[in-house]
Amino acid sequence: MKIVVLKFGGTSVGSISRIKNVARIIISHIKKKYKVIVISSAMSGETNKLSNLTKEISSNFTPPEYDSVLAAGEQISCSLIAGRLNDEGFLSRSFHGWQVPIYTSGEYSHSRIVSVNKNNIIKYLKKGGIPILAGFQGINSENRITTIGRGGSDSSAIMIAKFFKAEKCIIYTDVAGVYSSDPKLIPNAKKIKKISYEEMLEMSSLGAKVMQPHSIQDARLHRIDIEVRSSFNNKTGSLITKRKNVSTKNIIRGVSFTKNDAKISLIGVKDKPGVAAAIFEPLYKNSINVDMVVQNISSNKKETDLTFTIKTEDLTKTVKLIKNNKNIKFKNIIIDEKVSKVSIVGVGMITTPGVTFRMFNALAKKNVNILVISTSEIKISVLVDRKNLKKAVDVLHKEFKLDY
Amino acid sequence: MKIVVLKFGGTSVGSISRIKNVARIIISHIKKKYKVIVISSAMSGETNKLSNLTKEISSNFTPPEYDSVLAAGEQISCSLIAGRLNDEGFLSRSFHGWQVPIYTSGEYSHSRIVSVNKNNIIKYLKKGGIPILAGFQGINSENRITTIGRGGSDSSAIMIAKFFKAEKCIIYTDVAGVYSSDPKLIPNAKKIKKISYEEMLEMSSLGAKVMQPHSIQDARLHRIDIEVRSSFNNKTGSLITKRKNVSTKNIIRGVSFTKNDAKISLIGVKDKPGVAAAIFEPLYKNSINVDMVVQNISSNKKETDLTFTIKTEDLTKTVKLIKNNKNIKFKNIIIDEKVSKVSIVGVGMITTPGVTFRMFNALAKKNVNILVISTSEIKISVLVDRKNLKKAVDVLHKEFKLDY
């Protein structure tokens, strides 16, 4: 059976006319002789609306009931799609999580799909039907509705593609694919035809809002090819696939950036073994993610300066935790919210020397001062003043020939 | 186990503050040492909103998907109630139709509850939990969601009360109970403390919008006592119960009326055997309900006049069917939309002679002309000009001592 999994995001099913359009897209795949399994998100805005209802009921709303309320959103949209396909003369029906069933484990609101009963769906596909599955939901061992944290309906689509050994998994969304940078900032940014999971992971966690990192990680783990494309036009999107499928002359695939980082510098920290651990332990315990870290050797050997970045939303909490931390001593704390992280990403850099030099040199020529540096195997990130953001992304996009 | 079933209608759960109020009502029953099973309707307006979505998708939306979309309304409200009870420190959870399960048969959107698996609920009640069941829904033999036609969540409540042998079934709604007439028209109308199923059936089908006739019929069939009361205050409502439980000195319990009747008179119909059948057959086939019928003996023995009433909404269709009916001949058709049916209802009239005379006499004294009459065992209905409606209801309400 040649199976394709199609997943439609919230904006793709965000109105009646868009749902009708989704039905046309599904039919186009049927006409190519594919067996189609559809995963639907809730209509855009619906999940927030439902979530707000629970917040008004209680500031501490019970997780199992929260999941039951939220799951209604996908229940509605998947039935609307099936109804539309029926109207167009196609055999189709909705499947809620419990009707498949899709089994999950883990906590409510953060559950993970662990298994899928394929029988009902396979039987229905063999009859020529188009099953429309509610994304983002499953049931646990207590027969209660759970929602999938970390990736939501994208994760549902990837797991369904895995269990049904689908030939393709297409994520229909409101962006045309993965770009070499944000087209809003860099008009010359180009759509990337193929990108490896690893590159995409670095790109997505660095700010390209195409798919959530956890969904890409799922796809990578299960070796599922994913095409990300727009449901609003008929253009080919970007394929996220295994590294060996990606052949490109470009060392660097993209330049990504963030706008929600904040930099904290602790000046004159008493330097002794374990001081960094003493600083970061309370942050870790409060689920605050520290991103870039740099420690300067001070001229005074008994003191050091420590700089690190966190998400802006965690700033107030972080400063409070540091000021209340009795295990550390420092002279001054300096906060800078007007910073941005700019990153170049590409598997090519593993085998190509001189990438770091080219990056720093290009930035230096434009007088962009580098505040902090961090690197991984396939990316180099620098922290710069927010005012230099566009200049920095622009020069790197040109330097690594992504403009063409 | 002393079980009470509480059902909350759409307006009773129509906002966050009202859901919080519903939780308080539930807790008040728990404090009286009852085991409480709750049935919830969807928040008011929600079912219409969902229904409209399906209509926009297709003018002929598939029934199973329609039911799946609509069932989301009760799914949301029952979880919001359970979440609120959790917030107040009580053990409570939602049960969707498939989680009980509640089994139905019959067509989608018009299904009937045929059985209920009691195990899960009983186990939960024994643990001290408060189960909140989604009304209006169940699953059929194909494991698909169905909705209960004919009475909706009221029917769910009555069937749950039956299967669990509940001591009481309380229907919380936005009216204070059953009144001797419509308080908007007759300010002296009084709340009825106890009323028999049969009287209530006549009252409800004649216009008192407290409960749907089919739900009352269910309650009657299964001998379930129902209290109808408002969720907006703490006052006792009306008990709908077996005839033998109702003792009253009043022969007549209520005066009800309609405003959506239309009268059609066919003048000079060729009189021959089977002519009435020939007139009404096409109406029956088109699901048009003919209510009151009167046939006059004409002075010309070969012709007759026939008058009948239908719902105003069926008027255009009815007139068309009659004009296109080749099996009948008549000289003229007269339509009157400005009529109302006024009825007196009471089991007492079975054993009390002279009720008909008192009714007609009271109306005559006020110069209210009677256009058509129809009677059943426990009610007498007359058709009057709409302009005489208030006068007629008023005089009958006084005549049968319902003002005190």
Residues A332-342, mean pLDDT to the nearest whole number: 94
Residues A346-391 have pLDDT tens digits of: 998 888 888 999 999 999 999 999 999 988 889 999 999 999 999 9
Q: What is the CATH number of the domain that holds A149?
A: 3.40.1160.10
Of B16, B68, B93, the CB nearest to A79: B68
pTM score, whole prediction = 0.87
Helix or strand (DSSP H, E) at B102? strand B102-105
Backbone angles phi, psi at A221, to 5 degrees: -60, -40
Contact yes or no for B84 and A20 at CB 8 A: no
pLDDT-based confidence at A299, cuts 50/70/90? low
Three-state SS for A382? strand
Shortest Cα distance, chain A CAs vs residue B49, angstroms:
11
Residue whose C-alpha is closest to residue A315's, from A323, A327, A325: A323
**Angle separating helix axes A355-365 and A389-399, nearest 10 degrees:** 130
Residues B299-357 have pLDDT tens digits of: 667 888 899 999 999 999 999 999 999 988 899 999 999 999 999 999 988 888 889 99
A61 close to B (CB below 8 A): yes
Shortest Cα distance, chain B CAs vs residue A2, angstroms:
27
The answer to whether A84 and A19 are in contact (CB under 8 A) is: yes
- Does a structural domain hold residue A18? yes
Predicted local distance difference test score (pLDDT) of residue B350: 84
Contacts of A87 in chain B (CB under 8 A): 57-58, 60-62
Predicted local distance difference test score (pLDDT) of residue A208: 60
Count how many domains chain A has: 1
Contacts of B99 in chain A (CB under 8 A): 143-144
A63 close to B (CB below 8 A): no
- Does a structural domain hold residue A10? yes
pLDDT-based confidence at A203, cuts 50/70/90? confident
Residues A105-120 have pLDDT tens digits of: 999 999 999 999 999 9
Of A65, A72, A143, the CB nearest to B99: A143
Contact yes or no for B62 and A75 at CB 8 A: no
Beta-bridge partner residues of A256: A343
Q: Average pLDDT over chain B, rounded to whole? A: 93
Contact yes or no for A56 and B87 at CB 8 A: no
Contact yes or no for B53 and A80 at CB 8 A: yes
Query: Looking at residue B271, what DSSP letter applies?
Result: P
Q: ipTM score here?
A: 0.86
Predicted local distance difference test score (pLDDT) of residue B205: 65
DSSP line for B27-58: HHHHHTT-EEEEEEPPPTTHHHHHHHHHHHH-
Residue A151 has pLDDT above 80, yes or no: no
Task: Please name the residue ranges forming H helices in B32-134.
Answer: 46-57, 63-87, 119-126
B136 close to A (CB below 8 A): no
Residues B189-213 have pLDDT tens digits of: 999 999 999 999 988 766 567 888 8
Distance of alpha carbon A332 from alpha carbon A348, whole angstroms: 41
A66 close to B (CB below 8 A): yes
Of B53, B79, B93, the CB nearest to A69: B79
- Does a structural domain hold residue B113? yes
Tokens 């309400």 -> residue: B397
Find the domain containing A56 and state its range: 3-174
Contact yes or no for B75 and A56 at CB 8 A: no
- Does a structural domain hold residue B213? no
Residues A206-255 have pLDDT tens digits of: 666 788 888 999 999 999 999 999 999 999 999 999 999 998 788 899 99
Contact yes or no for B61 and A87 at CB 8 A: yes
- Does a structural domain hold residue B199? no
Residue B296 has pLDDT above 80, yes or no: no
Nearest CA in chain A to B76: A69
Nearest CA in chain B to A90: B62
CB pairs under 8 A between A and B: 106
- Does a structural domain hold residue A304? no
The answer to whether B304 and B271 are in contact (CB under 8 A) is: yes
Of B57, B66, B99, the CB nearest to A84: B57
Nearest CA in chain A to B100: A143
- List Cα–Cα distances, A53 to A136, B90, B172, in angstroms: 19, 20, 22
Q: Which of A269-278, A318-327, A339-348, B231-240 has the lowest mean pLDDT?
A: A269-278
Return residues 313-342 of B near A (CB < 8 Å): none
Apex B253 CA angle, B251 and B259, nearest 5:
130
- Does a structural domain hold residue A138? yes
Nearest CA in chain B to A60: B87
Residues B224-252, mean pLDDT to the nearest whole number: 92
Shortest Cα distance, chain B CAs vs residue A156, angstroms:
20
Nearest CA in chain A to B101: A143
Three-state SS for A224? coil
- Does a structural domain hold residue B33? yes
Residues B257-288 have pLDDT tens digits of: 988 899 999 998 987 778 888 999 999 999 89
Q: Residue A179 has which token pair?
A: 């770009």
Residues B80-90 have pLDDT tens digits of: 999 999 999 99
